[in-house]
Amino acid sequence: MTDPATTDPAPTDPAARPAAGPAAPTAAGAAPVGRRVAAQAAFEARAVLRNGEQLLVTLVLPALLLVGMTRSTLVSIGTDGAARVDVLAPSVLALAVMTTAFTSQAIATAFDRRNGVLRLLATTPLGRSGLLAGKVLAVLAVEVVQLVVLGAVALALGWRPEVAGAGPALLAAALGTAAFTALALLVAGTLRAEAVLAVANLLLVLLALAGGVVVPLADLPAGLAAVAAWLPSGALGEALRVALLDGTAAAGPLAVLAGWAVVLGAAAARLFRWAG
Amino acid sequence: MEIRGLVKRYGGRAVVDGLDLSARRGAVTAVLGPNGAGKTTTVECCEGLRSPDAGSVRVLGLDPARDGARLRPRVGVMLQDGGLPSGARARDVLPHVARMYAAPRSVAELTERLGLAAFGGTTVRRLSGGQRQRLALAAAVVGRPELVFLDEPSAGMDPQARHAVWSLVRELRGEGVAVVLTTHLMDEAEDLADHVVVVDGGRVVAQGSVAELTTAAGRTGAAAADDRTLVLRLAGPLSEADLAGAVGPGFAVAVPAAGTLTVTGPVTPATVAAVTAELARRDVLVGSLEVGRRTLEDVFLDLTGRTLR
């Protein structure tokens, strides 16, 4: 009979080591999953907030649009009796979600993929799923910073949001973040880094101006408005405007956003390549 | 680590084709091979970055493709292309990787050992190749791994940095860590490796200790240490058997390439005379005749050929 004291410890024991071989190094093991993901999220969020170009796209550009378009009437926007800033603030918040969840995330992930960062992190205890969770949390963290800064600028310009719309607005932002992060990963995981740089910036400008983000659907040419209503950009813009202007949930745009989140998420999961 | 009959195909072409390899704790295993030999693919199968098409891979008794979550805390990886976030400052990278582990090594101690403080404020993209390699090595070992994979660890390093890296690798071995390194630097393999595996065409073409590989087959220990190799490059034909007959027993005769023959064993002036006498008898003119100790590089080139690829 084997002495129970000399049998191998249970494999679930984190300190389990095969008995053979010279003195094994002590106490290898992973940090708890929450700490790993939080560390990755903080690292990525700091990377965005410290990078000049990323700050330009995620904070300076939306802030300039907000101030510039509120103060000047160069671009005509139908306000239906509401203050101009009350229409523009939700639009700029929609743009902010796109800059962080899509443009900034696509570019960062594409270069991390090309430089082997995704492969290396996949070999640490963080793993691929932890890396994805960290990215999503980092996007949300940067969005909170955007909300605080852009919200403060809008309030200073006289924005009076409908408080009852906070819930639907957060839902729209969450669905929009899911859809655009999935699109970012789809682009970053399939194209060359240089191509991602071009696509991510071009798509941002096109969708912002003609996709129903900064310019409301009602102010777009009829044909374009019909298309934009079915785009994630138009759906996010409308859902945020309805929520923060009327204090209600816009079922149609929210459903469109949810649909995009599912489709883009599935496509990214299928087509994403970890190595560049 | 145990690999048996590993096969990995890309687009129908087998890059790794029936490869067997094992690495022990407390030993440095060097995997040598020309570019495209299948070294990196093999290592990636062990790291769980690729799944094999056939064969078995066991790492610390586990299957990297299935038990990745349990293996990752125990295995350290240094990739050939670095894999460090290019926008981050060097001093932020190591603490970040350390946060993934429950009981990491001291970041300050590793920073000191590998001289990382000298470029702490520089972003990764602006580091020299050698600096980046040192940072990547620190990241690979910070989690106190039981097994580390180092892909060309000292490529692009100055001699000081290389010695710092070698001493760290020796220390890891002393602590009982299994070290698997791929390299193109023969002196690195000669200095560090307990076991050398030469890979070509997706298979192992030779393996053993450096002494075993650089001396004649079947001869070990003190006798083998005195062995010399006589290398003949000839303008005419001479068979292996004729040459073996001329030098007598106790020597290994090989034909590593067309027109080149080697005689390995206790080569003396009499041996050289016997060889040249045989050449005179066969009326074959010698192009060059060289006697020396075989280096790992000689063995490597004999095994994998001298043509560029």
Question: Which of A75-79, A250-254, B80-84, B200-204 has the least mean pLDDT?
Answer: A75-79
What is the phi/psi pair of residue B268, to 5°? -125, 170
DSSP B32: E
The whole-angstrom distance between A64's CA and the closest CA on chain B is 26
Q: Residues A105-111: what's their mean pLDDT?
A: 95
Collect all residues of chain A within an 8 Å Cβ-Cβ radius of residue B74. 28-29
Tokens of A113: 């993929």
Tokens of B95: 């603490």
- Residue-wise pLDDT for B97-127, tens only, equals 999 999 999 999 999 999 999 999 999 999 9
CB contact under 8 A, B79 and A30: no
Collect all residues of chain A within an 8 Å Cβ-Cβ radius of residue B68. 127
pLDDT of residue B228: 82
* A234: Cβ contacts below 8 Å, ≥ 6 apart: A211, A212, A213, A217, A225, A228, A253, A256
The whole-angstrom distance between B220's CA and the closest CA on chain A is 25
Looking at the predicted complex, does its ipTM rise above 0.85? Answer: no
CA distance B20 to B202: 10
CA distance A60 to A66: 10
Does position B285 have pLDDT exceeding 50, yes or no?
yes
Collect all residues of chain A within an 8 Å Cβ-Cβ radius of residue B136. 120
CA distance B139 to A172: 40
Query: Touching check for B27 and chain A: CB below 8 Å?
Result: no
pLDDT of residue B216: 52
CB contact under 8 A, A24 and B79: no
Count of other CB atoms within 10 angstroms of residue B198: 24
CB contact under 8 A, B72 and A274: no
CB contact under 8 A, A25 and B177: yes
Judge residue B48's burial from the number of C-beta atoms within 10 Å of its C-beta, 0-12 exposed, 13-18 middle, 19 or more buried: buried
Residue of B101, B133, B142 for testing the chain A interface, max A β-carbons within 10 Å: B101
Does position A6 have pLDDT exceeding 80, yes or no?
no
- Residue-wise pLDDT for B24-46, tens only, equals 999 999 999 888 888 989 999 99
In single-letter form, the type of residue at position A123 comes to: T
Confidence of residue B131 (pLDDT cuts 50, 70, 90): very high
The whole-angstrom distance between A128's CA and the closest CA on chain B is 10
H helices of chain B, where?
Answer: 39-46, 68-71, 90-98, 107-113, 129-141, 159-174, 186-192, 210-214, 221-225, 240-247, 269-282, 296-304
pLDDT of residue B144: 95
Residue of B77, B89, B100 for testing the chain A interface, max A β-carbons within 10 Å: B100
Does position A22 have pLDDT exceeding 60, yes or no?
no
* pTM (global) more than 0.90: no
Collect all residues of chain A within an 8 Å Cβ-Cβ radius of residue B144. 25-28
pLDDT of residue A7: 39
